[in-house]
Amino acid sequence: MKYILSTKLLTPDQKAILNDDRIHFLEYQAIKIQYRKFQLPDDFDNYIFTSQNAVEAFIGHLSNFQGNPQFDKACFCVGEKTKLLLEKNGLKVVKMAPNAADLARFIVKYHKNESFLFLCGNRRNNDLPNILTSNKLHFEEIVVYNTELNHQQFLESFDGILFFSPSGVKSYTATNDIGNSVAFCIGNTTAKEASLLTDSIIVPETPTIENLLEKVTSHYNLSIKK
């Protein structure tokens, strides 16, 4: 029996991927999202989103202003799910990248003379703003949601732990050790945070929850068959 902990609550369809009698699955919400009130400046050509939470905060802010010209702005984002959420709400996505650093490098290369508004959380990664600043791009960032760490201590040990953000790693390890667990990390930024505490890290080729869960099943199926 393999004991797996998810630091995020999963949907029934996602949990079905781990529907194996050799896997004992636990889950909890390692972080909590609090949307903030904010004002949007209107003198920027493009918007940048590096998370679905930022998109949700943005759409919520504009929900009472369906005719607002902000909907006509071009969007640059990180992650396929973020892109789909933007498009679902009628926004045009010019570029989607797998991580913030790649997105920033694309912007520097192809859109250096344009202006950008970066909508982010209070614990956002430094990669994108650092790259844009060092290349002297015209951009401003606005915090549209807060990420709060939800500490929970576990007495049992786990074969694998699923991490979905650097904040999730910080939240879990504030009261627990990774120990001998395999850290399944959704992307390279999350893996970078986990690498400060463990060398046993697995990352999917494409950063989605479904791909991460498939990594779990393939990893332990191979282990069990040996």
pLDDT for res 71: 67
Residue 136 lies in a domain: yes
pLDDT for res 225: 42
Residue 152 lies in a domain: no
How many domains does one find in the chain?
Answer: 2
Based on the domain organization, do 82 and 121 belong to the same domain?
yes
Q: Are strands 201-202 and 23-27 parallel, antiparallel or unpaired?
A: unpaired
Residues with Cβ < 8 Å from 100, sequence gap 6 or more?
50, 78, 125, 127, 128, 189
pLDDT for res 42: 82
Based on the domain organization, do 6 and 48 belong to the same domain?
no
pLDDT for res 64: 64
Q: What is the CATH number of the domain that holds 209?
A: 3.40.50.10090
Structure tokens at 209: 């929850």
Please, is 121 exposed, middle or buried when counting C-beta atoms within 10 Å of its C-beta (0-12, 13-18, 19+)?
Answer: buried
pLDDT for res 63: 79
Model pTM?
A: 0.85
Based on the domain organization, do 109 and 127 belong to the same domain?
yes
- Which residues are paired to 183 by β-bridges? 161, 201
- Which residues are paired to 115 by β-bridges? 138
pLDDT for res 26: 96
Residue 153 lies in a domain: no
Contact 188, 206 (CB under 8 A): no
- Spatial separation of the C-alpha atoms in residues 188 and 98, rounded to whole Å: 9
pLDDT for res 222: 45
Which residues in the chain show pLDDT less than 70?
64-71, 222-226
Structure tokens at 25: 């699955």
Average pLDDT of the chain?
A: 92
- Supply the range of the domain harboring residue 83: 34-147
What is the layout of strands, in order, in the sheet containing 182-185? 23-27, 2-6, 160-163, 182-185, 201-202
pLDDT for res 20: 82
pLDDT for res 62: 82
Based on the domain organization, do 45 and 80 belong to the same domain?
yes
